[in-house]
Structure formats: C-alpha cells, structure tokens
C-alpha cells in the first residue's frame, strides 16, 4: 500500500521504516528535515498526502516542559496536553485529502478530545483514532509486535475504515496481536489508562522498597517476586522489580493529564495525584538514603531508560533534584557514592556503589537499596 507519515521524529520515523521494511511504499514529512534510505521525504504535507492510501499523524501532544516528571510536579496545577500541533496538521491534511483516503491519528490524547477537538477539522477525508503502545528504544520492534491494536471509530463499530486498517496491519505484524475496536473515546481511554496502570504498578512496588528500608529485615525482591508470580488474581511479571521510579515521555505526563481530567470532570477524587505524590516522595526517600553514604554523588546516567539518551521525565534527574535540595553535590569524578541508574551501568573503581536494583556484582563496596536483611 501507499502509506504516509506526518511526523517522522523519534516515534514516527522508526514506525515508518518498519512499515517500509515490510514492502509498503512509505513517504514522510516533518518540520525538521530528516533523511531515510527507506522513506521518501517530502517538504510539505500537500506533497506527502498526494496519492496515499493511508496517512498516519504521529506528531507530539506535549506538556509544558515543567510537567514531564524530571522535577516535582505534584504542587503544580494539573494541565491537559497541548493539541495545537495536531490541530494544525489535521487541518492542513484535510485540505489535500479525499474520501478515498484514510487519515489515522496515533498521538496520545485525553478521553473525549477527538470528538471535541479534531473530528470537525477533517470533513474531507475518512478518519480513525489509533494510538500506539510503543516504548522508546524498541519503537520498531513494538510497532510490529504490539500487545494490542486499538482502533477508534465514531460509534465503536468495525466500520470499513477500521477493517481497512486491520487488513493493513495484518501485512506487517509479526505476533498476531488482538484488535480492539471501540469509540474514539474508548481508545483514548485505553491508551492513557494503560500508561497510568504502569505508573501505579511502579509506585506500588517502590512503596514496598520504602517499607523494606524503614522496617528492616526485608529484601524487597523476595516480596515483589512473590507478588509478580501471583498471576491468578493480581499480577503479571512486567514492572515488578523495585528500583528507580516511573519515567519517560509518556507515563508521568499522562498521570498529570489525568489529574486535569479528574478535576475537570468533578470526580471528587484524584488517584493520579496520589500516584505522582508517591513517585516524588519515593525519589526523596532514595535521595536521603544516598546522602547517608556521602555528600558527593555520581549518577551513572541521566536518561530514564537503558539504551536511550532521552531524559524526558527522567527519574534519575528527579532523584538528583532531591539530592541537591537536601544539601548534596552532583559530581562527575571523586565521588563518595556512585548511584546505578540502570542495571548493568558501569561505576568508577573504588567508589561506594548505591544500587537500587540489587544486582551489582562487582568488587566495589555496595549498598543494596531495598534489601535490609543484613542491616
């Protein structure tokens, strides 16, 4: 098929190239000039959409930079995402598309946004909402091996538009995923609640880490492993290792946006505020434990995830924030303590290691955060 991607950044380009690798003709457009050996790049949306069967919109819905989670956010007023770029792109694409083409939005938005903000912008073409479950560092693999594919239509029925998208995905998928067809609003909710379920899960396992530190005689891994393997009622294995907290370009900000939604809908309670408060208190607790070992602190990484350079919503930076606030200093050499941000990170020789993952096997003296059996 002839596929177009509007937005070929850190999400869009790997997805576009993964589709091209499956034999489809793929074109791309981005306001930032990008090159690809697999994707033919255009300099305008008009040129990009011409003759395409399906056009995907993969542009960001950013938060204010202060809200990404690398510094405390619980004290800030909840905000929705910024939809201005999506609206500009949909408006421009609509000018040059027809009913013979399918326009597919994959950007994360709050429930109700598509119906309220976007649909009236695209009367000239056919439209579905199709958010992706993709993580930085594994975008291309996630694209063709998703846990599920969500397709949102106006009334939640499997329209011809939805069927066209399913038939297309079946030509590229490697894992035979399940397909969930719902309303625009339902698919918006599936995506954002999927991310915030993960945030809540990480917050819970890191609460157990706090309990281990305060109570004593507990190795957090014994507790979390027992819960992880209790699959009849409560659990699956992913995100069940205590350590550094939730981070990235999606999870902290999605909780913040759902705080905004809870307030806007007058729910009368805000679970997401509690999740974000717990995340920050857990980071402060870790900083206090680090500073018990020394004042000059080296962190092995600023990124939120191993194998990627991105610092969006970095938990490492949040812990560093509290280290500085509590009187510590961040150093690149001659450290009193080296904090392992990602399992397997290398540390300076002869430096005390602070390991939130409890997996360091080197020769340095080490503090295993969350294991107080030996205290």
Domain shared by 49 and 123, yes or no:
yes
Domain with residue 297: its CATH number is 3.40.50.720
The mean predicted confidence, pLDDT, of the chain is 95
What is the pLDDT at residue 375? 53
Domain shared by 299 and 178, yes or no:
no
Q: How far apart are CA 223 and CA 332, in angstroms?
A: 35
Domain shared by 149 and 220, yes or no:
no
Count of structural domains, the chain: 2
172-226: per-residue pLDDT in tens? 999 999 999 999 999 999 999 999 999 999 999 999 999 999 999 999 999 999 9
Domain shared by 172 and 231, yes or no:
no
What is the pLDDT at residue 374? 67
- Kindly state the average pLDDT of the residues 304-321: 94
**Is residue 158's pLDDT more than 80?**
yes
Question: Nearest-5° angle of CA 297, CA 298, CA 299?
Answer: 120
Share of the chain above pLDDT 70, in %: 99
What is the pLDDT at residue 136? 86
User: 33: domain range?
Assistant: 2-191
Q: Give the pTM.
A: 0.87
Domain shared by 85 and 220, yes or no:
no
87-140: per-residue pLDDT in tens? 999 999 999 999 999 999 999 999 999 999 999 999 999 999 999 999 888 999
What is the pLDDT at residue 177? 97
What is the pLDDT at residue 249? 81
What is the pLDDT at residue 63? 82
The CA distances from residue 324 to 164, 183, 292, 297, 318, in Å, are: 53, 46, 14, 10, 10
**Is residue 268's pLDDT more than 90?**
yes
In 3-state terms the chain splits into helix, strand, coil percentages (rounded to 5) of: 40, 15, 45
Domain shared by 121 and 246, yes or no:
no
Domain shared by 152 and 242, yes or no:
no
Q: How far apart are CA 29 and CA 3, in angstroms?
A: 12
**Is residue 251's pLDDT more than 90?**
no
Share of the chain above pLDDT 90, in %: 87
Q: What pLDDT band is residue 250 in, cutting at 50, 70 and 90?
A: confident
Alpha-helical (H) ranges within 97-183 are: 113, 139-144, 160-169
């Amino acid at each position: 098929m002839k596929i177009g991607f509007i937005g070929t950044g850190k999400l869009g380009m790997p997805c576009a190239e993964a589709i091209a690798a499956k034999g489809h003709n793929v074109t791309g457009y981005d306001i930032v000039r990008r090159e690809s050996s697999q994707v033919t790049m255009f300099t305008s949306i008009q040129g990009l959409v011409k003759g395409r069967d399906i056009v995907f919109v993969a542009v960001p819905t950013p938060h204010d930079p202060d809200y990404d989670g690398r510094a405390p956010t619980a004290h800030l007023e909840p905000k929705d995402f910024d939809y201005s770029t999506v609206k500009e792109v949909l408006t421009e694409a609509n000018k040059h598309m027809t009913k013979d083409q399918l326009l597919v939005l994959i950007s994360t938005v709050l429930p109700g946004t598509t119906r309220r903000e976007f649909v009236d912008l695209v009367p000239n073409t056919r439209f579905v909402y199709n958010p992706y479950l993709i993580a930085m560092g594994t975008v291309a693999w996630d694209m063709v091996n998703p846990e599920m594919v969500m397709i949102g239509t106006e009334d939640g029925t499997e329209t011809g538009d939805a069927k066209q998208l399913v038939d297309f995905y079946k030509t590229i998928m490697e894992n035979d995923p399940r397909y969930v067809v719902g309303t625009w609003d339902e698919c918006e909710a599936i995506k954002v609640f999927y991310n915030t379920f993960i945030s809540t899960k990480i917050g819970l396992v890191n609460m157990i880490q706090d309990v281990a530190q305060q109570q004593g005689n507990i190795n957090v891994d014994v507790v979390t492993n027992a819960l992880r393997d209790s699959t009849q009622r409560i659990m699956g294995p992913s995100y069940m290792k205590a350590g550094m907290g939730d981070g990235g370009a999606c999870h902290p900000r999605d909780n913040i946006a759902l705080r905004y939604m809870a307030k806007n809908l007058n729910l009368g309670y805000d679970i997401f505020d509690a999740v974000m408060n717990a995340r920050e208190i857990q980071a402060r607790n870790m900083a206090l434990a680090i500073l018990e070992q020394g004042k000059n602190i080296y962190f092995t990484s600023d990124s939120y995830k191993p194998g990627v350079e991105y610092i969006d919503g970095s938990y490492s930076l949040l812990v560093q924030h509290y280290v500085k606030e509590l009187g510590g200093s961040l150093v690149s050499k001659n450290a009193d303590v080296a904090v392992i941000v990602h399992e397997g990170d290398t540390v300076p020789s002869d430096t005390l290691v602070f390991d939130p993952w409890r997996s360091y096997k080197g020769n340095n003296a080490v503090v295993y955060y969350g294991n107080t059996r030996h205290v």
